[in-house]
Each structure stands twice: as structure tokens, then as C-alpha cells.
């Protein structure tokens, strides 16, 4: 590894592979979610975003539903399933995602098992979006420079700001977003960052009190409703009583089965189903298609029950598999 100059930004040097290992470890120690400043957070987002691979031009605004992960618990792929529900409801979705880091099944772990290529050629993005109102972007494909920091992060072994900036690295900077965050301080930072984004129309940043990065179908959640230069924070309490006698293991294979049961309306009672319905409802609010979570959740339930989500999934898979 070549050494960075004294004047070079250490994060930029690290992403370029020019930071010594000892300096990288010291830098990670400064990026703890509990103690790092918002200025450090924003600087990290800017430094990583500057390394993005160029994407083909996409006409019009898009929506993203993305979570930070970090709950440390097995869970269903709610936001990935929500992407299909929103697209079935007429929202143009380009979901940004990755494989699992701390859970058993990340967005692309599920998509790969559905037959979606993990690194779909980026030049296909506009065509997929035009044909199906849906596309997925794989974070490592968009940010190859992050490979330079992966080994040091593994050795460090503790969460840092890197674990929470993912949703803000979407290369298209969507005008509307649903962002799930598992850490309360990082939730506030993400809302603050989005409020200053000149491209933003509206974002909803949500955290479940069960430490999940989504609207909790049981119990309470905290919501930040973000519009340009304005952030409103309020609690939300679910009235749902999901008929789940015991949580499944949420292994990748289990999540694929759950996904198909939900999108084919064979499951309209589990905790995973209610999580999808409610978070899709919140997504419809962020997208401007519903005024309340209840209204959006009712739309999501109707789309699932009518078979429109199933048809959306089938159309997308047929398109993405076409040569």
C-alpha cells in the first residue's frame, strides 16, 4: 500500500488504497455511531459518494426503500418485498441494496435466490425501469472502492458510521425515499442529511422500538418526516396483532418461501405480511400516493390480494432474465 500525503483527506486516501493499516484502524475508532459528529458523518458520505461508478441516465424521479440493517437479529426482507408492492402501485422504484452484513439474509441474498443477477449490467437500468417500473442496484457494483476498506472494517469488528451511510449512497439521489434505520442517533443524522439534500422532495426515516430498521408491526416506532430544510419527528404505535405463533428462523431459504407466500396472497396473517403491508403503506405516504399509513397499508393489502404484486414480480423476473 502506498502512503498518503499529509494534506490528503484520510478517508479519500483510504478509499484509494493509500492509508496505512494503523491509520485506518485509528480512523475507524473515530467513527463510532455513539460519539462521531454529524460533520464526520456528512464528510464520510461525501467522500464515499465521490467514488461512485457513473450510471446511465434515467429519465424522471425515482423512489428508494432501503434500510441500514444493524438490528443484529434475523428478519424478513421487508424493504425488498415492499419495492415490488410499490412498483405494483405505480411508483417508479430503484432500490439500492447489498448482501447481508449482520443478518442472515440481505436484499441481494433474497434477489439472487429469486433468479435476479447480483451484478446486472448497469446499462440495463433504464430499460428495466421503463418496462417494469422497478430496478435494483447492488452497492458493491456501484462503489468498487469500498473493497479497499472492507478488510480493516472486519478486523475492527465493531459498527462504525460505515454501517449506516448505505441508504444515502444511492447514486441516483432519489427525490423520494423510505429509509429504515436501526440506531436512534443515526436516524437523526440521516434525517438531517436528507433535509439538506437539494434533490429531495420527501423522505420518511423510520426506526422500530424493537431495534429494527423498519416500521414495527407490533409496538412502537419513531418516524422522521423529512422535506426540504424541515424535519418533523413523531411516534407511531401499531394496532396490529399479527397471528404469528412463533417467529421463523428467517434464513435465506425461509425468506424466499415467505416472499412467495406473501406476494401470491397465500399469507395474509404473519408478522412478515403485516410488516410488508405497513411499510409499503408508509412508502406510499413518502411517494405521495397516500395521506396516512392506514390508507397506504390498505392500498398495499389490495395490491397483494388482487394479484397485482404477483404479476409485478413475474413481469420483473421475466424482464431481468431476458438476454
Q: What is the pLDDT of residue 323?
A: 57
Write down the mean pLDDT value for the chain.
Answer: 93
Mean pLDDT of the region 223-235? 97
Per-residue pLDDT tens digits for 107-166: 999 999 999 999 999 999 999 999 999 999 999 999 999 999 999 999 999 999 999 999
- pLDDT tens column, 170-196: 999 999 999 999 999 999 999 999 999
- The mean per-residue pLDDT over the stretch 84-109 comes to 90
- If DSSP codes are grouped into helix, strand and coil, which group holds residue 125? helix
Q: For residue 143, what pLDDT is reported?
A: 97
**104: pLDDT strictly greater than 90:** no
More confident residue, 307 or 74: 307
- pLDDT at position 160: 97
pLDDT 10s digits, 5-53: 556 799 999 999 999 999 999 999 999 999 999 999 999 999 999 999 9
- Residue count of the chain, please give it: 323
pLDDT for position 250: 86
For the question of whether the overall pTM of this predicted structure is more than 0.85, the answer is: yes
pLDDT at residue 4 greater than cutoff 60 = no
Q: Residue 136: what are its φ and ψ, rounded to 5°?
A: -125, 140
Cell of 47: 467522500
C-alpha torsion sign, points 113, 116, 122, 126: negative
Identify the sign of the CA torsion 165, 170, 176, 177. Answer: negative
What is the C-alpha to C-alpha distance for residues 107 and 270, in angstroms, rounded to an integer? Answer: 20
Q: Determine the pLDDT at residue 1.
A: 43
| DSSP 8-class letter at 201 | S
CB-CB contact of 311 with 88 (8 Å)? yes
Largest Cα separation within the chain, whole Å, is: 61
Tell me the three cell numbers of residue 203.
Answer: 423522505
Sheet of 134-138: strands edge to edge?
Answer: 134-138, 93-97, 63-67, 176-180, 202-208, 220-227, 230-237
- State yes or no: pLDDT of 74 exceeds 90: no
Cell of 152: 480493516
Distance CA 144, CA 19 (A): 17
What pLDDT, on the 0 to 100 scale, is given for residue 251? 86
pLDDT at 10: 92
**Domain locations in the chain?**
63-321
The answer to whether 189 and 68 are in contact (CB under 8 A) is: no
Residues 6 or more apart from 240 whose CB is under 8 A from it?
217, 218, 274, 278
- How high is the pLDDT of residue 242? 54
Alpha carbons 222 and 322: distance in angstroms, whole number: 41
- Given the candidates 3.40.50.720, 3.30.70.1560, 3.40.50.970, 3.40.1030.10, the CATH classification of the domain at 63-321 is 3.40.1030.10
Contact yes or no for 67/213 (Cβ under 8 A): yes
Amino acid at each position: 500500500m502506498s502512503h498518503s500525503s499529509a494534506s490528503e483527506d484520510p478517508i479519500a486516501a483510504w478509499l484509494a488504497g493509500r492509508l496505512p493499516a494503523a491509520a485506518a484502524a485509528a480512523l475507524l475508532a473515530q467513527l463510532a455511531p455513539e460519539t462521531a459528529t454529524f460533520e464526520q458523518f456528512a464528510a464520510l458520505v461525501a467522500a464515499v459518494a465521490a467514488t461512485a461508478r457513473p450510471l446511465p441516465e434515467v429519465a424522471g424521479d425515482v423512489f428508494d426503500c432501503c434500510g441500514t440493517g444493524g438490528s443484529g437479529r434475523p428478519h424478513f426482507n421487508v424493504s425488498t418485498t415492499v419495492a415490488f408492492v410499490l412498483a405494483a402501485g405505480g411508483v417508479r422504484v430503484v432500490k439500492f441494496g447489498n448482501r447481508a452484513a449482520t443478518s442472515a439474509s440481505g436484499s441481494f441474498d433474497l434477489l439472487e435466490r429469486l433468479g435476479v443477477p447480483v451484478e446486472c449490467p448497469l446499462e440495463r437500468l433504464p430499460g428495466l425501469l421503463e418496462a417494469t417500473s422497478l430496478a435494483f442496484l447492488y452497492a458493491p457494483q456501484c462503489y468498487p472502492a469500498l473493497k479497499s476498506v472492507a478488510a480493516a472494517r472486519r478486523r475492527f469488528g465493531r459498527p462504525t458510521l460505515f454501517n449506516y451511510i448505505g441508504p444515502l449512497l444511492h447514486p441516483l439521489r432519489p427525490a423520494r425515499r423510505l429509509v429504515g434505520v436501526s440506531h436512534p442517533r443515526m436516524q437523526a443524522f440521516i434525517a438531517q442529511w436528507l433535509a439538506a439534500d437539494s434533490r429531495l422532495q420527501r423522505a420518511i426515516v423510520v426506526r422500530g422500538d424493537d431495534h429494527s430498521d423498519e416500521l414495527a408491526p407490533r409496538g412502537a416506532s419513531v418516524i422522521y418526516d423529512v422535506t426540504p430544510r424541515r424535519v418533523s419527528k413523531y411516534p407511531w404505535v401499531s394496532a396490529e396483532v399479527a397471528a404469528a405463533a412463533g417467529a421463523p428462523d428467517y434464513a435465506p431459504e425461509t425468506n424466499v418461501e415467505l416472499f412467495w407466500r406473501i406476494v401470491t396472497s397465500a399469507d395474509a396473517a404473519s408478522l412478515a405480511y403485516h410488516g410488508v403491508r405497513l411499510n409499503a403503506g408508509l412508502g406510499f405516504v413518502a411517494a405521495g400516493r397516500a395521506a396516512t399509513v392506514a390508507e397506504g397499508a390498505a392500498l398495499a393489502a389490495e395490491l397483494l390480494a388482487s394479484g397485482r404484486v404477483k404479476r409485478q414480480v413475474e413481469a420483473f423476473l421475466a424482464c431481468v432474465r431476458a438476454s
